[in-house]
Amino acid sequence: MSVVRCVASELRRLNPAWTRPNEHDGLTLRVLPECRERSVAFERSAVAMNLRQLKYFVGIVEAGNITRAADAMNVAQTALSAQLRHLEADLGVPLLVRHSRGIEPTAAGRLLYARGQALLRHVEDVRREVVSLAGDDIEAVRFGLTPALMLAIGADLIDLVHETVPRISFSLVEAMSHVLVGNMLAGDLDYALCYDATDQPQLARRALLQEDLVFVTKPGPERRRQIRLIEVLDETLAMPDAADTVRVAVARAARDLGRDLVVAYEVRSIAAMKSLAMRGTASCVLPLASVSAEARSSLLLAVPIVQPPVRRMLYLVSSNQTHAKRCDLALMMAVETALGGLVAMLGRLAHPLWSLPE
């Protein structure tokens, strides 16, 4: 509890009124004489703030919106909002400011977010160490995939790792590429498959595959086989946020044509973008893997973009700040095998940079 108490102490300094008793839950805080600036003593036996609330709060801040956070963590929005209210009531300080675009953390919220991230990483490190001891030196590996890659190769990768990589505890994490890079830098992941990862001293990256994106729209009477980028830019487009690698790739290609990318609907959800396309509200640019099922069912039309193609580079990213895993080589072989299935599905849209097995 020492880390939680330290967080509580710093939050108290942001709101001196927090030292008064809380009539709702009977919480009384006092500053210990020997640790006047850092510690807080609790008159009741349990600390109200718990790891679940910290996890929820960190997830809300990272998503920038309670609805997106609830979807990402598979938690009911009402339950997530209730946990946030309880956390703010227990701590006695406002943590978030709500506005029309979502939420922003207050000064106390920013402190809790930073300390909460560190605490959750510490708990995960403890879990991994215990698993390693309990599992006859089992190696824990946290691996990140983008949403489209999770759909395309996630299950295959789990099966391959289970079959070919011995003594490993393997967990998959799904997030957009730029979020995965941030998780790598924070030490929350060991490896990630992500697109257009920038060269950074803390990270090692290996280029694996170039992939052409597709234009996605509602099917119409004209069953076109391809579309020029200049035509795509004239469409009403739904795109992810500005940091997303798909949007960055489209904006870069547009600039090369002397055009600006105009986004009518900014949407941080592939499912929502596909829904807008099915309704005919907007079109979008996506990786084929994220719409292959809908394209096969003729719910959506997905066609290559040409003149020029919009292309991304897929990297395998690992950390330069941690020791190499024993399973590095076996895991790389499993990744390449799983990606072989993706290359087969993409066809001419894929440009692999390694030799595929015969």
In this structure, whether the domain defined by 214-309 belongs to CATH 3.40.190.10 is answered with yes
pTM of the entire predicted model: 0.61
CA 30, CA 43: separation in Å to the nearest integer? Answer: 8
Pinpoint the residues of the chain covered by CATH 3.40.190.10. Answer: 136-210+313-352, 214-309
**Does residue 160 have a pLDDT over 50?**
yes
What is the chain's Cα-based Rg? Answer: 24
Alpha helices in the chain (DSSP H): 2-14, 51-63, 66-73, 77-91, 107-134, 147-164, 177-185, 229-232, 245-256, 270-279, 292-296, 328-346
pLDDT at 335 exceeding the cut of 70: yes
pLDDT > 70? residue 5: no
Q: How confident is the model at residue 165 (pLDDT cuts 50, 70, 90)?
A: confident
Lowest average pLDDT, out of 87-96, 129-138, 149-158, 254-263, goes to 129-138
Q: Quick one: pLDDT at residue 7?
A: 55
Q: d(Cα 141, Cα 191) in Å, to the nearest integer?
A: 8
136-210+313-352: CATH class: alpha beta
Neighbour tally for 215: CB within 10 Å: 26
Which percentage of the chain shows pLDDT scores above 70? 82
CA distance 297 to 269: 21
Tens of pLDDT, residue by residue over 26-80, are: 333 344 444 343 333 333 333 457 788 888 899 899 888 888 888 888 778 888 8
Please give the residue that has the higher pLDDT: either 157 or 354.
157
What is the CATH number assigned to the segment(s) 2-121?
1.10.10.10
* Per-residue pLDDT at 124: 75
Question: What CA–CA distance (Å, rounded) separates 327 from 140?
Answer: 10
Confidence label for 304 from pLDDT (cuts 50, 70 and 90)? very high
Find the largest Cα–Cα distance for the chain.
Answer: 78
Looking at the chain, the domain(s) classified CATH 1.10.10.10 span 2-121
Q: Identify which of 1-10, 124-133, 240-249 has the greatest average pLDDT.
A: 240-249
Confidence at residue 162, expressed as pLDDT on a 0 to 100 scale = 87
- Please check the confidence at residue 167 and state whether its pLDDT lies above 70: yes
The answer to whether 286 touches 195, Cβ cutoff 8 Å, is no
- Beta bridge partners, 170, equal 141
Average pLDDT, the chain: 82
